[in-house]
Amino acid sequence: MSAISKSHSPVYEHAQQVLPGGTFGNTGADLIIREGRGSRVWDEDGNEYVDYLIGSGPMIVGHNHPEVTAAVQAQLQLGTTFFANNRQGVELAQAIIDAVPCAEKVRYASTGSEADAFAMRLVRAYTGRDKILKFEGGYHGYSDYGLMSTTPKKPGNTVHAIPDSAGIPRNVSENMVVAPYNDTAAVESLIREHKGQIAAVFMEPFQRIIPPRPGFLEDMREITRKNDMLLVFDEVVTGFRLGYGGAQEYYGVVPDVCTLGKAIGGGFPLSAIAGRDDIMAMFDRTRSGADRFVPQVGTLSGNPIAAAAGIATLEILKRPESFKTLFATGERLKNGLAERLARSGIEGQVVGVPTLFDVVFAGGEVRNYRDTLRGDAARMAQFNTLLRERGILKGENKYYISLTLTEADIQQTLDAWDDALAAMARG
C-alpha cells in the first residue's frame, strides 16, 4: 500500500469548529474514518489500515459483513424502533440465555456504561447494601460510580476510591471499595473491614489485557457466596470474545450477574444486563415489591435494528469454526509479536489472550493495574504511531482480533512490527 498521508481532510477542519477538541472523545482528532469493509478501514485522506480497533470491539465479525447487513436491511423495511417489545429483541435475549452460563433473564440498555450503572443499582436493590467492591484499573463505564480508580495516575491507598473525572460528587467514593486485581488476600481483608456493607464484587474477569491468575476467579466466587454477596462480571468486552459463552465459559466460573455489550449489537448501540432470575426480578415491579423495584427504561433499549444485527452476529460466532479461527489467528499474531519484541532487545512483554492482547514495555510480571504503570508510556505511544504509519490501526493499549483477518493482513502486521521495533531499537 502507499505511504500514509498526513494531510487533513475538510472534515478534520470542520470537526475542529464543532466538536470539543475536534473529537467525539474516543480517538485523536486526526483519525476520521470514512468506511470499513471486512478487516480494513479507510480514513478521509484515503489511507488504508488493517483494523485492530474494530470500533473498540463490536465488529468482531468484520465491517459490513453481508449477513449482518442483510439482517439490518430486512428490518429497516419494517421499522427502526418502537419503544416496545419486538420479535428481534426477544429472540436475541433467548440467544444470550442459551449462550451465557449465568443468564436466566435479560434486560437491555444501549451502552456498556448504562448496563454497568444499572447492574450496580440492581445488586444494591437486591442485597439492600450500598457498597460495591471493584478492582483498581477495572473499567465499568462512565457513570459516577463506574469512574472510580479506573486510571488513577498517582494511586494512593487502594481502599479509597479515586474519581477519574471532574464533576463527580465527593461522596460517591464512600460507597466504592477498591482492591488490587489478582489479590485474594486483599479482597478478604476489605470484606472483613466492610462486613455486611458490600453488595457485590463487580469485576472484569479478564481486566483490560490482564488475565486472572489461576484460582483468582474461583476465589471471588467462593468469597462472595461465603459472605452473602453477589459476583458480577463486566463482560461488555469479553462477552462472545473469549468464547461463545464469554469469560465465564472460558474460565469456568459463573457469576450471579453479568453485563454485555459490543458484540451483541453487531455494530449498533445495544447492551444488556443478564443474570439469575431472582436477581433480575428487581426489574419487575410485580415480583420485586415497591421498595426493591429498579425502574429501567431507554428510548432505544432493545431496538429491532441493533437486535437484528446482534442475532446475525451471534449466529456467525456460534459456528464451530468461528472461535477456532479467532484463536488460531490471535495465537499466531500474539506469538509473532512476542518473538519480534524479544529479537528487538527492547524490554517488554505481550500480555493477554489470543483474542485480546497488547505489549507492556516493562519487565517483571504484570498482575494488576499498578504493574502496568511500570510500562514505558512514551515508548508505547511511539510504537502505536509507527504502526499507524505502516497501515496498522489499533487502540492505545489493545489489539482486538476479528474473524475477517486475512493472510495478507497478518503478514502486513508482522512486517509492520518488524519495521517499527527496528526503528525504535535504533533510537
Query: SS3 string of the chain?
Result: CCCCCCCCCHHHHHHHHHCHHHCCCCCCCCCCEEEEEECEEEECCCCEEEECCHHHCCCCCCECCHHHHHHHHHHHCCCCCCCCCCHHHHHHHHHHHHHCCCCCEEEEECCHHHHHHHHHHHHHHHHCCCEEEEECCCCCCCCCCCCECCCCCCCCCCCECCECCCCCCHHHHHHEEEECCCCHHHHHHHHHHCCCCEEEEEECCCECCECCCCCHHHHHHHHHHHCCCEEEEEECCCCCCCCCCHHHHHHCCCCCEEEECHHHHCCCCCEEEEECHHHHHHHCHHHHCCCCCCCCCCCCCCCHHHHHHHHHHHHHHHCHHHHHHHHHHHHHHHHHHHHHHHHHCCCCEEEEECCEEEEECCCCCCCCHHHHCCCCHHHHHHHHHHHHHCCEECECCEEECCCCCCHHHHHHHHHHHHHHHHHHHHC
Residues 102 and 32 in one domain: no
Of 261, 294, 317, which residue constitutes the final position of a domain? 317
Residues 140 and 219 in one domain: yes
What is the spatial distance between Cα 155 and Cα 167, in angstroms, rounded to a whole number? 19
Enter the C-alpha cell of residue 78: 419494517
Identify the CATH number of the domain in which residue 206 sits.
3.40.640.10
Kindly give the parts of the chain with pLDDT less than 50: 1-2
Residues 220 and 268 in one domain: yes
153 is catalytic: no
pTM value is 0.95
How many separate domains does the chain show?
A: 2
* Identified catalytic residue from 262, 334, 358, 400: 262
- Whether 1 is covered by a domain: the verdict is no
Of 317, 342, 367, which residue constitutes the final position of a domain? 317
116 is catalytic: no
Residues 46 and 77 in one domain: no
Enter the C-alpha cell of residue 236: 461488555
pLDDT of residue 1: 42
* Identified catalytic residue from 116, 234, 371, 409: 234
- Contact yes or no for 44/32 (Cβ under 8 A): yes
pLDDT of residue 2: 47
pLDDT of residue 400: 98
Residues 258 and 345 in one domain: no
Residues 146 and 291 in one domain: yes
Residues 197 and 58 in one domain: no
- Whether 301 is covered by a domain: the verdict is yes
- Whether 278 is covered by a domain: the verdict is yes
The whole domain housing 272 covers 66-317
- Whether 5 is covered by a domain: the verdict is no
- Whether 49 is covered by a domain: the verdict is yes
* Identified catalytic residue from 52, 139, 181, 251: 139
Residues 197 and 338 in one domain: no
Residues 305 and 329 in one domain: no
262 is catalytic: yes
Residues 265 and 339 in one domain: no
Residues 348 and 417 in one domain: yes
Of 264, 292, 317, which residue constitutes the final position of a domain? 317
Residues 151 and 258 in one domain: yes
40: left (phi over 0), alpha (psi -120 to 50) or beta: beta
Identify the CATH number of the domain in which residue 38 sits.
3.90.1150.10
pLDDT of residue 157: 56
